Amino acid sequence: MAKDLVVILTALNVEYQAVRRKLAGPQVHRHKRGTLFEVGTVQGTSCRIALGLTNKGNHSAAVIAERAIQEFSPVAVLFVGVAGALWDTARLGDVVMATHVYAYHGATSEDDGTKARPRVWETAHGVSQLGSHLARANDWADDTSGHGRAPQVRFGAIAAGEVVQNSKISAEARWIRQHYNDALAIEMEAAGVAQAGHLNGAPVAIIRGISDRADGTKSSANDRNWQPRAAANAAAFATRLAVELVGEREQIAVSEADRAPTADRLEEHVSNTAHNSTVGIMAGSVRGSTVYVNADAKVTRPADLVAELDAFRGHLKRHHAEGALDEDTYREALAELGFACRAARENTAERSKRATMALKRLRGLIADCPELAAMLAPLVVAAGDLS
């Protein structure tokens, strides 16, 4: 998995260009299906960004997000751009980072009216915490000389649908403000990206600059004025967040390396604690009273991983029988598990990546079952260690 790369996606070219201006040395990267990304580093840092354009709409955004996750195995996916404000809480130019995303077009039409049936995705806790920390530090914004006050970061729900909203009095506008009155902003891509992240086990953050009020005052002239400014503010916050996410991941990796037992530590520990005792080891050899540990030995071999994945199928079946997994989730989970097993059995250079991505998608499906997620975690790590 890439420890130093974050995917940033945008829907509009003005948003894309706002992010691209923050990058040094962007190089074109072509997905096998023809989708083009540009990979560069945030200026002045070692944080790599894979930048892609999805075009408008949740469906297109979901497809491109899935491709980006499969292609880059990123630390996180950030969707960055502009949005309309639903209330006066967020002013033009402010940045809204979603705490959760509503797919507000989920509903049922009945004789007494339209009833909301939204899907909802929450932003990962760690990503939200970093975003809040950056907002408190308040040193992320570019120079706003000539643009009045500095932009502020707001945290709250974002509503994602399939139409451009530009009214306060239309039936749909009133319905949205009635049923989603905690949503700060409204746009057209966040639900698709959130779903792709959920299914692939990738953290997602939605970051939007407010360019209009979605209240009938949106116009081409106002868009030409506010869209570039709002997009630039969102890009500034998002790239800073990306740098923090990569830095945090690197710190975690260093901490885990420090805690990992080396051969010298293991030999010293066993020598000090196992004299005249029976010692069980998973790798290495014992000669007389000395234990020799092979530091290069893999604890989990492909055959071991396949066996553990087969055993995990039984845990899925049990949770399904107990009602913890619904039928659709159970079937999708079995499919991803089967894909991971097949990949682990392959004798190819890609098997580690293929098995890891399948298990990450499985992790997203079972995220609401802590017991299963805990069982799966070491298998994801083992898949990444396949050589």
CB 196 within 8 A of CB 103: no
Are 100 and 190 members of one domain? yes
> Between the CA of residue 125 and those of 132, 159, 203, 225, what are the distances in Å?
11, 19, 9, 34
- Domain limits at 336? 302-384
Closest CA to 354 of 381, 330, 374, 384: 384
Domain count, the chain: 3
Whether residue 359 is contained in a domain is answered as: yes
Are both 334 and 231 inside the same structural domain?
no
Residue at token pair 């392959």: 346
Residue 163 lies in a domain: yes
In-domain check, residue 257: no
b/e per residue 87-125 (b: at least 16 CB within 10 A): eeebebbbbbbbbbbbbbbeeeeeeeeeeeebeebebbe
- Residue 246 CA to residue 69 CA, distance in Å, equals 16
Q: Are 84 and 218 in contact (CB under 8 A)?
A: yes
Contact 31, 71 (CB under 8 A): yes
The reported pLDDT for the residue numbered 242 is 96
pLDDT bucket at 258, cuts 50 / 70 / 90: low
Q: 308 and 281, same structural domain? A: no
Token pair for 13:
């070219």
Q: Are residues 316 and 243 in the same domain?
A: no
Identity of the highest mean pLDDT range in 62-66, 165-169, 212-216: 62-66
For the chain, the straight-line distance linking the first and the last C-alpha, in angstroms and rounded, comes to 13
Note whether residue 76 is domain-resident.
yes
CA distance 347 to 156: 47
Tell me what pLDDT residue 380 has.
87
Residue 146's pLDDT is what? 58
Shared domain check, 195 and 101: yes
Examine residue 152 and state whether it is found in any structural domain, yes or no.
Answer: yes
What tokens appear for 329 in the block? 């989730």
Q: Can you tell me whether residue 365 is helix, strand or coil?
A: helix
281-313 confidence digits (pLDDT tens): 444 444 444 444 444 434 445 568 888 898 999
pLDDT over threshold 50, residue 228: yes
Please tell me the predicted confidence (pLDDT) of residue 274: 47
Query: Residues 270, 359: one domain?
Result: no
Over 80: is that where the pLDDT of 167 sits? yes
Tell which of 238, 271, 292 closes a domain. Answer: 292
According to DSSP, residue 281 is labeled: -
Question: Which of 247, 156, 161 is closest to 208 using CA atoms?
Answer: 156
Strands 95-103 and 119-122: antiparallel
Backbone angle region of 334, left / alpha / beta, with phi > 0 → left and psi within -120 to 50 → alpha: alpha
Instruction: Indicate the residue type of 264.
Output: D
pTM, rounded to two decimals: 0.69
Mean pLDDT throughout 320-335? Answer: 87
Average pLDDT rounded to a whole number, residues 254-274:
55
Q: Please indicate, yes or no, if residue 258 is contained in any of the structural domains.
A: no
Model confidence pLDDT, tens digit, residues 143-157: 755 566 889 999 999
349 shares a domain with 274: no
> Coil, strand, or helix at residue 326?
coil
Higher pLDDT, residue 257 or 217: 217
Taking only Cα atoms into account, the Rg of the chain, rounded to an integer number of angstroms, comes to 24
Q: Do you know the residue count of the chain?
A: 387
pLDDT of residue 207: 98
Is the residue at 107 inside a domain?
yes
Task: Report CA dihedral (247, 250, 255, 257) to the nearest 10 degrees.
Answer: -170
Is residue 46 helix, strand or coil? coil
| Average pLDDT of the residues of the chain | 85
207 close to 238: Cβ distance less than 8 angstroms: yes
CA distance 250 to 258: 12
Residue 257 is predicted with a pLDDT of 58
Q: What is the pLDDT of residue 268?
A: 54
9: helix, strand or coil: strand
250, amino acid identity: E
What mean pLDDT do residues 35-59 have? 95
